[in-house]
Amino acid sequence: TDLEQAGLLVLVGSNAAWCHPVVYQRIVAARDKNPAMKIIVIDPRRTATCDEADLHLPLIPGSDVILFNGLLNYLYQNDALDRDFINKHTDDFEPALSIAHVCSPSVEAVATNCGLDARDVELFYREFLEADRTVTLFSQGVNQSSAGTDKVNAIINCHLATGRIGRPGAGPFSITGQPNAMGGREVGGLANQLAAHMDIENPAHRDLVQRFWDAPVIAGQPGHKAVDMFNAIHRGEIKTLWIMATNPVVSLPDADFVRAAIRKCETVIVSDCMHDTDTTRQADVLLPALTWGEKDGTVTNSERRISRQRKFLLPPGEARADWWIISEVAKRMGHDRAFDYRCPADIFREHARLSACENGGNRDFDISGLAELKNDVYEQLQPVQWPVSNNPENNAHIFSDGHFYTGNGRAKFIAVGRKEPANQVSDQYPLVLNTGRVRDHWHTLTRTGKSPRLSQHISEPCIEIHPQDALDHALVDGQLARVESEWGSVIARVKIEHGQLAGSIFMPMHWNDQFAARARVDSVVNPAIDPVSGQPESKHTPVRIEPFIAAWEGFLLTTGAEIQPGTDYWVLNRGYGHWCYQVADSTLPADPGEWAMQRMPETGPEGEWLEYHDPAIGRYRAARLVNGQLQACLFIAPDTSQLPDRQWLQSLFSESTLDKIQRACLLAGRQTGNHENLGPVICSCFGVRKNTITRNIIEKNLKDTAAIGQCLKAGTNCGSCLPELKNLIKSCELPDSDAA
């Protein structure tokens, strides 16, 4: 509710419109109710999130500390500090301010160093100064940086200095990602954490947890963080690796090195809900795990609310819950008593008891009130926000009494100065590679890549590039290009984007080796990390880009996915009733017919083979039918502009048999006359395409997204396409002739 009560929302390094569509739509709704509310987005790219923003600051990648230090200094110079709060509840303000002053002495200096217009910087600072209720939301554009913790501290410093924390509608807010990211922290899911918000480095915490568990030993120091851990594996210091619910061959920086490290490791165990991933391919032992919908437990969301997650599917095959797998392994290692859980509720009660153990109001995470839940009460547990203490005094809005969990109860300013990203651009690598998410895919594609519905919005990995950079590197929209860094290279399709900052390109993080020949972007990303958090600098790698010269391009639609295109470039995309391969190669096949035969699924005598070849213009087309039903088709041309639109062909895979006209039109790639190209899918939830929407906007004179929703349902479920719907309405608006 803080988001709805705020007067100013500052989104820093967050593309919430695509990555947190539900929260984002709540923000948009709140602003519709309260038009005085302001939204400011700080992101080098112009994203869908910027569409609703009053101000967008496209800062130089990595320059956030300069911007927020400048804000602190500005607040000081304009006498807008909350001196009372600073004196009563904080320490170390002076050093933080003096470094901020040196780093960012004036609005003009900030504008120059962040690559921004001084008037925009001034406007942001003024809005912040005036808005008493400010929430600053920050996400991976802030965290995934070698100065990530500095950026976060620079933001928090501004909130502490104005006392805008722990009050309704005010506070710094880390809006990260995994649906249970918060829960992961609560149970100690990081290398330097113990469960229930305790630190391995704190001897008192270690002692407490050891006594609570009655454990003979406890680790005396933090483990390796992710990037360091794979270095240690590569050096041979770690002999056994158990990877659970993560796909590091795709998601960690310098991913080819990560894969090499895993290959060197003596014993590799992988627990995953999917059989075939880039990481399971490297496993010695595979443990099939349950996933969402199949497993049972609790998750905690960003506002500290614990919800029951209930299973609604039966466990497939031999799959088991992760907690069960861990317990069985532990028992066989001799820890029967410590792991004798019978159900998730057993584990939850123990977790709640630990949060209470010798807490006395010293640790914020306290759910002692849930420690004695009976199984049936746990089953029915309604969402509840922590703290849920036995001592109701501890259940107040967190931080509202100005008490912080730092030992002496006072918040600490952290002095942070300017720091450049770890690796700088050079003549050899002149562009910055920024990476992140697209609207309809999740992380490493192991699950969303299987969904035809979610695979329609963006069917190929793209390199988003500013028009001037494209020109400078001899690239045109839609062609293939190779992006290369000191660590690796990928090939993907160029997409010219005016919203892209010059000097910086953007690629999605999602594509893996099952879905593309060479688009695993983390194989290019530098393994630089933040010294405190260990978070990789995934948003900033120096790269170069050059055209990939394809001798031919094509696509292959097929009912079976087990094909090895063997081309320099290919991308696999799930469609309804079929799979689509987009392919390209630097050399022409000597005999396209033979090349095609090898790749199109074999069939018995019922199979029928249609073919068309015009060597003079480099055009080849083939199709295979079985009992009159389309099984595969292939289209090859010198470039994509000479390929037919795929939409009609893709629709033929839903037909049981092709009629005469369809067969006759097959190799032409389209049915003459009655077929309307509906354009790309905009609303994935209801499968509504662009041209259907624009036609309805014009014909029915639809004025807003609500009207589109009523008419076509588009945008009425998750809301992540609403920015695109708004843009369609804008693009259909005719200039008003009455307007002066």
Ligand X SMILES: Nc1nc2c(c(=O)[nH]1)N[C@H]1C(S)=C(S)[C@@H](COP(=O)(O)OP(=O)(O)OC[C@H]3O[C@@H](n4cnc5c(=O)[nH]c(N)nc54)[C@H](O)[C@@H]3O)O[C@H]1N2
Nearest distance in Å: CB 48, ligand X: 9
Nearest distance in Å: CB 347, ligand X: 15
- Rounded CA separation 227/192 (Å): 14
Per rule CB under 6 A, is residue 301 in the interface with ligand X? no
Per rule CB under 6 A, is residue 502 in the interface with ligand X? no
State which of residues 522, 530, 537, 724 lies at the interface with ligand X (CB under 6 A): 522
In DSSP terms, which residues pair with 608 in a beta bridge? 625
**Helix pair 722-732, 690-699: axis angle to 10 deg:** 50
Nearest distance in Å: CB 738, ligand X: 39
Q: How many residues bind ligand X (CB under 6 A)?
A: 56
Query: Judged by CB, which is closer to ligand X: 61, or 183?
Result: 61
**Contact by Cβ (8 Å): 269, 243:** yes
Nearest distance in Å: CB 709, ligand X: 21
Nearest distance in Å: CB 652, ligand X: 30
Query: Judged by CB, which is closer to Mo ion: 244, or 698?
Result: 244
Residue span binding ligand X (CB under 6 A) among the ranges 270-278, 343-351, 393-401, 602-610: 270-278
Percentages helix, strand, coil for the chain, rounded to the nearest 5? Answer: 35, 20, 45
- Rounded CA separation 100/68 (Å): 8
Query: Judged by CB, which is closer to ligand X: 279, or 650?
Result: 279
Query: Judged by CB, which is closer to ligand X: 44, or 554?
Result: 44
Residue span binding ligand X (CB under 6 A) among the ranges 160-168, 349-357, 444-452, 668-676: 444-452
Structure tokens at 476: 């045109």
Query: Judged by CB, which is closer to ligand X: 72, or 81?
Result: 72
Per rule CB under 6 A, is residue 437 in the interface with ligand X? yes
- Binders of ligand X in range 150-179 (CB under 6 A): 176-178
Instruction: Give, in order, the Cα–Cα distances in Å from 355 to each of 211, 303, 362, 369, 376.
Output: 14, 18, 11, 10, 22
> What are the two backbone dihedrals, phi and then psi, of residue 546, each rounded to the nearest 5 degrees?
-145, 155
Structure tokens at 510: 């999602």
**Contact by Cβ (8 Å): 548, 482:** yes
Per rule CB under 6 A, is residue 515 in the interface with ligand X? no
Per rule CB under 6 A, is residue 353 in the interface with ligand X? no
- What secondary structure does DSSP assign to 255-324, as a single string? HHHHHHHHHHSSEEEEEESSS--TTGGG-SEEEEB--TTT--EEEE-TTSEEEEE---SPPPTT-B-HHH
Residue 42 binding partner per list ligand X, Mo ion, none, with a CB distance cut-off of 5 to 8 Å that depends on partner kind: ligand X
- Rounded CA separation 64/74 (Å): 15
Nearest to 12 by CA among 54, 48, 58, 52: 58
> How many separate helices (H) and strands (E) can be counted in the chain?
25, 29
Query: Judged by CB, which is closer to ligand X: 271, or 705?
Result: 271
Nearest distance in Å: CB 177, Mo ion: 3
State which of residues 73, 113, 157, 271 lies at the interface with ligand X (CB under 6 A): 271
Cis peptide before 61 (omega within 30 of 0): no
Which uninterrupted H or E stretch holds 537? none
Per rule CB under 6 A, is residue 62 in the interface with ligand X? yes
Angle at 459 between CA 453 and CA 463, to 5 degrees: 145
Residue 479 binding partner per list Mo ion, ligand X, none, with a CB distance cut-off of 5 to 8 Å that depends on partner kind: none
CA 248 to chain centre: 14
- Rounded CA separation 391/728 (Å): 54
Residue span binding ligand X (CB under 6 A) among the ranges 239-247, 406-414, 581-589, 637-645: 239-247
- Binders of ligand X in range 87-146 (CB under 6 A): 139-142, 144
Residue 110 binding partner per list Mo ion, ligand X, none, with a CB distance cut-off of 5 to 8 Å that depends on partner kind: none
Per rule CB under 6 A, is residue 351 in the interface with ligand X? no
Nearest distance in Å: CB 74, Mo ion: 32
Query: Judged by CB, which is closer to ligand X: 162, or 535?
Result: 535
Per rule CB under 6 A, is residue 46 in the interface with ligand X? no
Per rule CB under 6 A, is residue 64 in the interface with ligand X? yes
Query: Judged by CB, which is closer to Mo ion: 113, or 144?
Result: 144
State which of residues 81, 198, 273, 517 lies at the interface with ligand X (CB under 6 A): 273
- Binders of Mo ion in range 168-187 (CB under 5 A): 177
- What secondary structure does DSSP assign to 615-632, as a single string? GGGTEEEEEEEETTEEEE
Amino acid letter, 603: T
Phi-psi region of 534 (alpha: psi -120 to 50; beta: other; left: phi over 0): left
Q: Is 711 helix (H, G, I), strand (E, B) or coil?
A: helix
Query: Judged by CB, which is closer to ligand X: 487, or 635?
Result: 487
Query: Judged by CB, which is closer to ligand X: 67, or 481?
Result: 67
Residue span binding ligand X (CB under 6 A) among the ranges 286-294, 568-576, 627-635, 666-674: 286-294
Structure tokens at 321: 């819950």
Nearest to 135 by CA among 30, 241, 214: 30
Residue 558 binding partner per list Mo ion, ligand X, none, with a CB distance cut-off of 5 to 8 Å that depends on partner kind: none
Amino acid letter, 347: I
Surface-to-core class of residue 342, CB atoms within 10 Å of its CB (0-12 exposed, 13-18 middle, 19+ buried): exposed
Nearest distance in Å: CB 18, Mo ion: 14
- Rounded CA separation 184/190 (Å): 8
- Binders of ligand X in range 304-323 (CB under 6 A): 322
Residue at shortest CB range from Mo ion: 177
Query: Judged by CB, which is closer to Mo ion: 181, or 732?
Result: 181
Residue 389 binding partner per list Mo ion, ligand X, none, with a CB distance cut-off of 5 to 8 Å that depends on partner kind: none
Residue span binding ligand X (CB under 6 A) among the ranges 14-22, 85-93, 119-127, 398-406: 14-22
Residue span binding ligand X (CB under 6 A) among the ranges 15-23, 71-79, 91-99, 161-169: 15-23
State which of residues 204, 232, 245, 476 lies at the interface with ligand X (CB under 6 A): 245
Per rule CB under 6 A, is residue 464 in the interface with ligand X? no
Per rule CB under 5 A, is residue 7 in the interface with Mo ion? no
What per-residue string of b and e applies to 66-90 under the rule 16 or more CB within 10 Å gives b? bbbbbbbbbbeeeeebbeebbeebb
Query: Judged by CB, which is closer to Mo ion: 20, or 621?
Result: 20
State which of residues 6, 9, 10, 19 lies at the interface with ligand X (CB under 6 A): 19
CB count within 10 Å of CB 413 equals 22
Per rule CB under 6 A, is residue 431 in the interface with ligand X? no
Residue with tokens 């996933």: 291
- Rounded CA separation 404/229 (Å): 32
Residue ranges in contact with ligand X by CB under 6 A: 12-16, 18-19, 42-45, 47, 61-62, 64, 139-142, 144, 176-178, 244-248, 251, 271-274, 277, 289-291, 295, 322, 434-437, 439, 441-444, 446-447, 509, 521-522, 525, 538-539
Residue ranges in contact with Mo ion by CB under 5 A: 177
